[in-house]
Structures are given as C-alpha cells and as structure tokens.
Amino acid sequence: MHKFLALLIISLVVGCNNNQNIDNNNYDDPTLPESGGALTNAMIGEPNNLIAMIAGDSASSAIAGQIFNSLLKYDENLGFEGDLADSWTISDDYKKITFNLKQDIKWADDEPFTCQDVLFTWKKVTDPDTRTPYGSDYQLVSSASCANNHIFIAEYDEPYAPALETWASLHILPEHLLKNENINDTYFSLNPTGSNYYALDEWTTGQQVKLKTNPNSIHGRPLLEKKITRIIPDLSSQFMELIAGNIDLMNINPIQYSRVFPSRSELNDKINLYKEMGNGYTYFGFNLKKKPFDDVNIRKAISYAIDKEEIINGVLLGLGEEITSPYKPGTYWENKSINKISFDVSRSRELLEKSGYQLNANNIYEKDGKPLAFEILTNQNKQREMTAVLIQRRLQDIGIDVSIRVIEWASFVNRFIKTGEFEAVVLGWSLSLDPDQYSIWHSSQQGPGQFNFIGYNNPRVDTLLENGRKELNNEKRKQIYDEFSKIIYDEQPIIYLYAGYGLTAIHKKIKGVKKITPPAGVFHNDYEWYIPKKFRRNEMSL
Amino acid sequence: MLNYLIKRILWMIPMLIGISLISFFIMHLAPGDITSNESAFNPKASEESRQKLRELYNLDKPIIVQYGLWLKRIVQLDFGSSFASHQRPVLWEKKDENGNIKPGLIQKALPITLLINLLTILLIFSISILLGTIAAIKKNKIPDRMITLFVFIGFAIPGFWLALILMYSLGVVNQVLPISGLHSIGYEQMSKLAQILDLLKHLALPVFISCLSGLAGISLYVRNGMIEILNQDFIKTARAKGLYEKKVIFVHTLKNALLPLITILGLSIPGLIGGSVIAESIFAIPGMGKLFYDAVLMRDFPVVMGILTIGSILTLLGNLIADLAYAWADPRIRRGLAK
C-alpha cells in the first residue's frame, strides 16, 4: 500500500517536472507547398445535420461549409465574390438579382450542377413543411426562376439590401438526390453530396468526422488531403491534445493566449498564435419598458459608471476592443466618428442628480424614497458572469444597488426574456456583416420571442432601418447606418461592453497560414494550407 | 415462488406508468422547449418559424395530450426520434426506403457506457473485497488505517481534477496513455488485437478515475461486515476446532460478509447505463451521461424520456434481481419467501 501511494505521488511529481517530449523538428525551416496530409482539428460539439438550413448549430455549419457552396461567398476583405455564381447583376430598381452560374461543374457524384439545383434549394428553404428557422429571408423573394441552365433570377417586391448576404449563406443542395426525399429526416443529412473542397469520408458518431478532398470541387483541389475533426467537449482536454501534438489547431481562451503561452517557450517553438476580431459583442441591456430605465440620463449615468477598459482587461485579459456600433471594428459599416463614453464617476453622478436622484443614508441613490436598485440577469457563461460582477462593483461604488442572477439558457430565454420580466441583462449579439439590424432594433419586433425584447422604440430609427433595407447603394446605405449607430449610442438603450478577439492556436507544421490575419479570419485561405511530408503524422489510414 | 415472481412483474407495470407520468410532467415544468436552443437567439431565425416547429412536434398541445401520444407510441416500443435537427431514432437504428441506416442514439452510446461501467464495477468489487478483507484482518493496525486513508482520499479527490492531472502527466509529458477519445486515428486499419489494446488504453484513465471514488463505500462495507462476522460464535468454534485461519477467513467469514453485497450489486444495475457527464466530457467519450445531459439542456424530450424509461425499467428489474439473488444465496431468506 505504501509503495503504491508513494509510486503514485512520485510519478505525479516527477512527471510534472519532466521536460516535454523532446520534439527535434525545427518547424521554422522554409518549405514548399505539397499536397497530401491530414489536418486534425477539434470541436466541442458534434454536428447535428449537415444540411445547414435544418441544422442550426455552429458545429454543423462549420462542417457543412466545407462540403457545400452558396451562390456567393465572402472574399478575404469581407466583400462578395462568386462561389457557385461567376458573376451577378442587380437591376436598376434593385428588385431583381441575376446570377450567372459557373458552367461545366459537377456534384461530387459526377451529376452536373444546374440552375435547377438552386431553384430547388430556394423552394425547399421557403417550403412551410421544411423545418428550418431561416426561411423568412428567402420568403421575401417574390419569384425565383431559371432563365436557362446557368442563369438564376431572384425577384423581390421591394428592394432588399441584405439579399446578397442571404445568397451567401444558403448552401445549394443537389436536386437529383433530394427531390424524392423528406428533407427533414433524410439520410442525406448524415451522408451529404456537395460541391465544395471536401466530401464526407467517414463519420464516427460522437467521436470524429473525417473529410476527404472532393475530386469535383468547383474551386479545384485543396492541398490538405484529409480533414479530421475530433469531438472533444472539454477545452482543457483539447488543449492537452494540442500540446501533445495530437490535434493541430484549436480556439484558445485569453488565459491560454496571454498567460500559458508566454510562460512556456517550448510551446512557442511548435505552435503559432493568431488573433482576429471575433464575431460577437457583449452588452449590458436595459428593459426600457421598466422604470427607471426609460430615462436616458439614468442609462447614460450607468454607462459612465462602468469602466469598460477594466472589463476588457479583467475578463478578456485585454484581448478585446470597445465598440460604439454593432459592427466589426475596422470594417466598412463601423461608424468611426462616434465619441466613446468613457469611465467618469462625476459625470455619472451629475446625470443621476439631474434625474432627481439623491444619495441616502446608506450611500445609495434614491428618488421619492425609492432606492436605485436592480437585478442583472445573465446565462451560464463564465465571461458574462465575470462581467456582471465587475459592473456590480462599479455601480456599488457610485451608489446603485445591483444584484446578479445567473440562469441556465432555456430558462433564461423562456422565463425572463420572452415574458419581459427582467430589469437588466448581460448578453451578446453577433457582429453582423450586413449592417441590417431590423430584427433587433425595429419597434415592430417586440413580440414574445422576437429580438427587440428590451423594448426599444424610436420612430427615426424605425425609418432608418426600413430605408436601410431598401438601399443598395453602399455609400447611401453607409450614411443611413452611421446615423442609426449614432442614435443608438446617444440613447444607450444598451451599453456596448466589448467585442472579444477570436484566438486560434495552430501547430507550426501547418504551413500557408497567413501571417497577418485578413478580416475574413485565419481560416479564410485554408485550401492553401499544407503540411510538409516530414512533419506529417504516421497515419496508416491515409 | 412463481406466484411471487409474477406478482412482482405485474406490479412493475403501474409503477412504470407512474414513473413515466411524473418524469414527463417534471420535464415539462422546466421552461423552454427544443426551439429555445441556440437558434432561439439567431436574429435570422424568426419567431413564426419557431412556432411552426413547435406545432410540428406537437409541443403546442396540452401536456396531458402530449403524454398520451408518447404513451401510445411507447406501448408499441417506439421510442420516437430525437427533436434535434438530426432526427435520429432515440433507441435503435431505422432503415429508410433506400436501405440507408440511421443509427439510434442510445444504441450508439449504451455499449460504451456499459463497457466502462462493467469494467469499473468489476474492478471496484474485486479491489474492495481484497482491501476490505485485509483491513478486517488487520483491524486497527497500520494496514487497516492505510487502506481507510487511501480509499477516503480516493473518495474525496475531485475526479475531474485528478483526471486532468493524470491526463497531463501520462498523456502529455510522458505520452504513455492517450489523452482523450476512444480510438486512435487509424484505428480501422489496426489488427483486431491492436484494436482491443487501443481501446483498453483509452479506457484506462476513465475507468481508473471512476473506480477511485467507488472504493471507499464497498471496501468499508466489506471490512465492517467481516469484523462483525469474525466476532460471532461460529467463527470462534471454527477456530477452536483448529481450522486453518485461511479457511476461517475465506470460507466462513468472507462468504457471509459478501451476502449484503448482492443487494448493492442489484442496485447498481440501473447505474450501469448512466454515465458521468464530467468524465465523459473530459475524456471525450460519447456515452450515456453526455447524451442525457445534452438532451436535457436542449429540451430534447423524446431522448430524455427514452433514457428515463429505460433507466426506470432497469431499476425495477435490478431490485427484483437483487431480491431473487439474495434468496438464492441465503437459505434463511429463501424459506421466508416460500412461506
């Protein structure tokens, strides 16, 4: 018994002091691109369904996106370029989009791709029997047709500016394989046939999804022969697999990025870190239908009392940015002329007093005998919880009594958000690529389950959002959304807290990754990535 | 005896209906349904389409109607399909007209969990009986104290923490064991023997971790049972008539001390199909624990109900088997039943 315990302890202690397995490869040696090899990746969840319009989870879209194409896609600067379409034209009244499809391309099963496939996909996504939550954008198309096998025409009753974005996010499905299938539960969703770089090789339930190159890929052959995505739900386990060299890349968190890597030089010899603007932002939102949040001065006072820089440093270890409009910093739609509301206690007190609040004996602001107190609600998300705590502390300092409640997601949405029974929330929205924010800010979108649940209502903003949807001229559109961003920031119906960076760690044996990450993200050119032969794993399966 | 058996089995039917009714209602008490998962907050997904989904899944109907529909299917042994967008069958694979097979969720997850749990129980019981016996013989001496200390350390150590430490020291630093997952890459190309070895290597840590916390209970149970019996008169008699100590311990004492373990074994039958969410997440094992946990979070009612139903059937069967086994092993109880 003694021996066993002693052995256990020794093995742990010695084990931890031991050096890393010596990896003698010098990954910085220059190499030339060569095809072949397998990239191993990890994901926290298993994809549901590889028909993205049905799936709705991010794991599914990530895998399906490598198998299917849309009509359009984003280039590295987030402009549009052709995917299945070679080119497209928009009519002068903005109501008709004509897509010229690529000719002589084939599905992975050698059947030709034609306009009928596009038409079929549009019919499916708008079919009331299809279990998709994404149909509404495509129902705006009043008529879709094929002029011939290579020209697809979508017509709208009203100009719809986000239309191009919607055609960049609809995966086109093969009609010949699906016309007699029930799209909701077809086997195709587990074993799809697409047109993009990769095709499904093998899917081991709960363990891994393996992709192989699609010989008929419409963009030619990628260099990496296989892509293996392992399903590892725990991020610490993923990280261990990464440093043990069993997976080649993963998304890491701020602690790993700015604490673990800098302190361990041996990791930096074999792993590169990449930082890019993330896809979402975190905000502090008010229920505008409840007092005292209907008062813009109170909202601004709270905004001045919150130190956003402190939150970014505390929660994200500095790996994020403040934003002033709901668009990715540095992209076209960001309104750069807005002045930030920065941490200013005296300004905050001034505004509170202007609204009639006075400090009471307990150092809490009160008005007509009612103290300024409320509850912040958030879901089980570590970063949001920490954010709420930092906000609570700052507001306590100034004299606002705040409590925090953390709730599981489904309960959070159904019990509090849908019923409007909340005072303030810490939540996130995505930083959309198209500037349209109609469903979040238009006053008509306040019903239960709709997204303007904070109850924002401003006729000018309504008009701007309506016009913005109809304006296809980018410059004019930019003016509209600049004004929209400015009004929202002036009124502070939500306080923008931060937009965090996406952090990716990629093993140095993966070559061809762009040193400077383009706006479209580090994965944008992954068809050019390669693994030099000498660095490949000994994989019998290849 | 046969009457007793039939009575017990018939009693299981109303019990099962009761259990399923309560589970069904409690499940629906939690706010939300399948439409309030991720896509609930995607601005591109409209409320109308979510309402449409609710209607498709009959989630707009009163709960009692939904329960009726569920019960109607379940008596035909149809556990339905998952609400999640993959629409996989809950229990067993289904073939479509083209001969393509959609694997069942429980069908895929259960064998893995069963294997881990069987190995775990086997190890727990064999190690515990050994440790408990040693502790009882050396009662209040150093080996007894050391064993108690060890099993309690094992009981008290947070499993996930130890798991991560071991994964790091054995998987990353020393690379003797795989870190996570069930199979190595290239598993399909291995020989049968290599495949089994590969699987065992992957299971070593998860099984070790889940064993550790189970040792304390059973080994102390064995130890105390042994001590109690060692103090009884018939053991004195055995020793007095000069039996070898080995025979006293292993034949007369241990046999009697093990009787109560049968109950524990029976009660652990339903536990066989339950996995630990934490261990399965850390080790990336697609077992029952994670399946159930995800289904609860997603409000995937058919999967939740499917696992609960199978769990309750196994619990009731486990109780029955434990009682029968007890009667088989202990003549005193057998006679009581016969009367």
Confidence class for position A10, pLDDT limits 50, 70, 90 = very low
A13 pLDDT more than 60? no
- B32, A236: Cβ pair inside 8 Å? no
Whether residue B111 lies within 8 A of chain A, CB to CB, comes out as no
Q: pTM to 2 decimals? A: 0.84
Average pLDDT over residues A160-185: 90
Question: What's residue A84's pLDDT?
Answer: 92
The CA distances from residue A322 to A391, B1, B107, in Å, are: 15, 76, 48
- The contacts of residue A361 (CB under 8 Å, 6+ apart) are none
- The contacts of residue B299 (CB under 8 Å, 6+ apart) are A410, B30, B32, B33, B34, B36, B37, B83
- B284, A413: Cβ pair inside 8 Å? no
Distance CA A158, CA A463 (A): 15
Whether residue A103 lies within 8 A of chain B, CB to CB, comes out as no
A504 pLDDT more than 90? yes
Identify the residue among B38, B39, B44 best suited for mutation to test binding to A, counting A beta carbons within 10 A and taking the highest: B44
Question: What's residue A287's pLDDT?
Answer: 93
Alpha-carbon dihedral of residues B39, B42, B44, B48, nearest 10 degrees? 60
- Tell me which chain A residues have a C-beta less than 8 angstroms from the C-beta of B49: 132-136
Q: What is the pLDDT of residues B278-293, one digit of tens each?
A: 888 888 888 888 888 8
Confidence class for position A134, pLDDT limits 50, 70, 90 = confident
Classified as helix, coil or strand, A241 is helix
User: Phi and psi at residue B148, in whole multiples of 5°?
Assistant: -60, -45
CA distance B279 to chain A (A): 10
A310 pLDDT more than 70? yes
Confidence class for position A152, pLDDT limits 50, 70, 90 = very high
Question: What's residue B37's pLDDT?
Answer: 66
CA distance A351 to chain B (A): 33
Give contacts of B 278-337 with A, CB under 8 A. 280-286, 290, 297, 299
Interface size A-B, in CB pairs within 8 Å, comes to 197
Question: What's residue A501's pLDDT?
Answer: 93
Question: What's residue B40's pLDDT?
Answer: 60
- Tell me which chain A residues have a C-beta less than 8 angstroms from the C-beta of B179: 237, 240-241, 244, 246
Q: Can you give A302-329 as a three-state secondary structure string?
A: HHHHCCHHHHHHHHHCCCEECCCCCCCC
Q: What is the pLDDT of residues A75-114, one digit of tens each?
A: 988 889 999 999 999 998 889 999 999 988 999 999 999 9
- Residue in chain A nearest B38 by alpha carbon: A57
Q: What is the pLDDT of residues A458-483, one digit of tens each?
A: 999 999 999 999 888 889 999 999 99
How would DSSP label each residue in A156-205? ESS--TTHHHHHHS-----HHHHTTS-TTT-GGGTS---SSSEEEEEEET
CA distance A22 to chain B (A): 10
- Residue A97 β-bridge partners: A90, A154
- A134, B49: Cβ pair inside 8 Å? yes
Regarding an ipTM greater than 0.95, the answer is no
Question: What's residue A322's pLDDT?
Answer: 92
Question: What's residue B185's pLDDT?
Answer: 77
Question: What's residue B183's pLDDT?
Answer: 84
Q: Which residue has the higher pLDDT, A31 or A539?
A: A31
CA distance B204 to chain A (A): 15
Tokens found for residue A106: 């084939």
Q: Quick one: which H or E segment has residue A87? A: strand A85-90
- A136, B49: Cβ pair inside 8 Å? yes
Most confident range, picked from A308-312, A409-413, B19-23, B317-321: A308-312
Question: Within 13 A of A242's CA, how many CA atoms are on the CB side?
Answer: 31
Q: Largest Cα–Cα distance of chain A, in whole Å? A: 86
- Residue in chain A nearest B107 by alpha carbon: A205
- Residue in chain A nearest B148 by alpha carbon: A1
- Tell me which chain B residues have a C-beta less than 8 angstroms from the C-beta of A40: 185
- B102, A246: Cβ pair inside 8 Å? no
Q: Could you count the other beta carbons within 10 Å of the beta carbon of residue B321?
A: 16
Question: What's residue B32's pLDDT?
Answer: 77
- The contacts of residue B333 (CB under 8 Å, 6+ apart) are B326, B327
Cβ A240 vs Cβ B165: under 8 Å = no
Give strand ranges (E) for A346-434: 358-359, 365-367, 370-371, 373-379, 401-407, 424-430
Question: What's residue A19's pLDDT?
Answer: 44
* Parts of chain B with a pLDDT under 50: none
Question: What's residue B77's pLDDT?
Answer: 79
Average pLDDT over residues A214-229: 91
Q: Which residue has the higher pLDDT, A538 or B2?
A: B2
Question: What's residue B39's pLDDT?
Answer: 56
Whether residue A48 lies within 8 A of chain B, CB to CB, comes out as yes
Give contacts of B 173-232 with A, CB under 8 A. 173-175, 178-183, 185-186, 188-190
> Which of A360-367's residues contact partners 24+ apart within 8 Å by CB, and which partners?
A363/A399, A364/A399, A364/A400, A364/A401, A365/A398, A365/A399, A365/A400, A367/A292
- Residue A429 β-bridge partners: A281
- Residue in chain B nearest A57 by alpha carbon: B38
CA distance A414 to chain B (A): 5
Distance CA A212, CA A227 (A): 6
Whether residue B164 lies within 8 A of chain A, CB to CB, comes out as yes
- A449, B47: Cβ pair inside 8 Å? yes
